[in-house]
Amino acid sequence: MSQRDVVAMNVMISGLCRCHLTADAIQLFENMPERDVGSWNALISGLGRKSQGGTALFYFRKMRSECNEIDVMTMVSVLSVCADLAALSNGKQVHGLVIQHGFEGRLPIGNATLDMYAKSGCMEDACVSFNKMPFRNVISWTSLIAGYGRHGLGLNALTAFEQMELEGIVPNNLTFLSTLYACSHAGLIPQGWRTFNTMISKYSMTPRMEHYTCMVDLLARAGHVKEALNLIETMPMKPDARLLTAVLSHCCNHHNWKLSKIVGLKLLELGPREAGAYMLLSNFYGRVGDFGGVANVRRLMLNRGVRKEKAYTWIEIHRTVHCFESGDSL
The answer on 63 and 85 residing in a single domain is no
| Cα→Cα distances 54→36, 60, 200, 310, 321, Å | 22, 10, 41, 19, 7
Q: Is there a single domain that holds both residue 44 and residue 24? A: yes
For residue 257, the surrounding DSSP H or E stretch is helix 257-269
Identify the CA nearest to 294 among candidates 304, 283, 305.
283
Confidence band for 328, pLDDT divided at 50, 70 and 90: low
Residue 127's pLDDT band, with cuts at 50, 70 and 90, is: very high
On average, the pLDDT of the chain sits at 88
Distance CA 51, CA 72 (A): 21
- What's the gap between Cα 206 and its chain centre? 22
7 and 45, same domain (yes or no) = yes
- Residue 329 in this model has a pLDDT that exceeds 70: no
Q: Kindly state whether residues 65 and 1 are assigned to the same domain.
A: yes
Q: Where are the alpha helices (DSSP H) in 50-136?
A: 53-65, 72-85, 88-100, 107-119, 123-132
**What is the number of domains present in the chain?**
2
Regarding whether 89 and 108 lie in a shared domain, the answer is: yes
- Torsions phi, psi for 102 (to 5 deg): 75, 25
pLDDT tens digits, 136-191? 999 999 999 999 999 999 999 999 999 999 999 999 999 999 999 999 999 999 99
CA angle (239, 242, 246) in 5-degree steps: 100
Question: Are residues 11 and 52 both part of a single domain?
Answer: yes
Last residue of a domain, one of 116, 135, 154: 135
SS3 312: strand
Mean of pLDDT values over 62-80:
92
Does 84 fall in a domain? yes
Helix (H) or strand (E) holding 320: strand 320-325
Report CA 256 to chain centroid distance, whole Å: 30
DSSP 154: H
Residues 103 and 122 both lie in one domain:
yes
Task: For residues 8 and 65, state if they share a domain.
Answer: yes
Angle at alpha carbon of residue 227, lines to 226 and 232, rounded to 5°: 95
Residue ending a domain, among 87, 118, 135, is 135
Residue 245 lies inside a defined structural domain of this protein:
no
Same domain? 101 vs 56: no
Query: CA separation (Å) from 73 to 45, 164, 313?
Result: 9, 27, 28
| Distance, CA of 53 to CA of 155 (rounded, Å) | 32
Q: How far apart are the first and last CA of the chain?
A: 50
Mean pLDDT of the 311-323 span: 69
Give me the torsion for CA of 97, 98, 100, 103, rounded to 10°: 160
Give a yes or no: residue 90 inside a domain.
Answer: yes
Do the beta carbons of residue 212 and residue 221 sit within 8 Å? no
Q: Is the residue at 320 inside a domain? A: no
In a shared domain, residues 8 and 61: yes
Q: Has this prediction a pTM greater than 0.85? A: no
Residue 327 pLDDT class (50, 70, 90 cuts): low
Closest CA to 47 of 72, 26, 74: 26
Decide if 292 is inside a domain. Answer: no
Residue 157 resides in a domain:
no
Greater confidence (235 vs 303) lies with 235
pLDDT tens-digit map of 206-239? 999 999 999 998 998 888 888 888 898 899 988 8
> Are 64 and 81 found together in one domain?
no
At 299, is the pLDDT very low, low, confident or very high (cuts 50, 70, 90)?
A: confident
User: For residue 223, what pLDDT is reported?
Assistant: 83
Range of the domain at 12: 1-69
Q: 20-57, pLDDT tens digit by residue? A: 999 999 999 999 999 999 999 999 999 999 989 999 99
Is residue 65 located within the same domain as residue 112? no
Tell whether 212 is covered by a domain. no
Among 69, 95, 110, residue at a domain's last position: 69
Q: Is residue 306 part of a domain?
A: no
117-122 mean pLDDT: 93
Are the CB atoms for 77 and 94 separated by under 8 Å? no
Q: For residue 195, which amino acid is it?
A: T
Percent of the chain residues past pLDDT 70, beyond the cut? 94
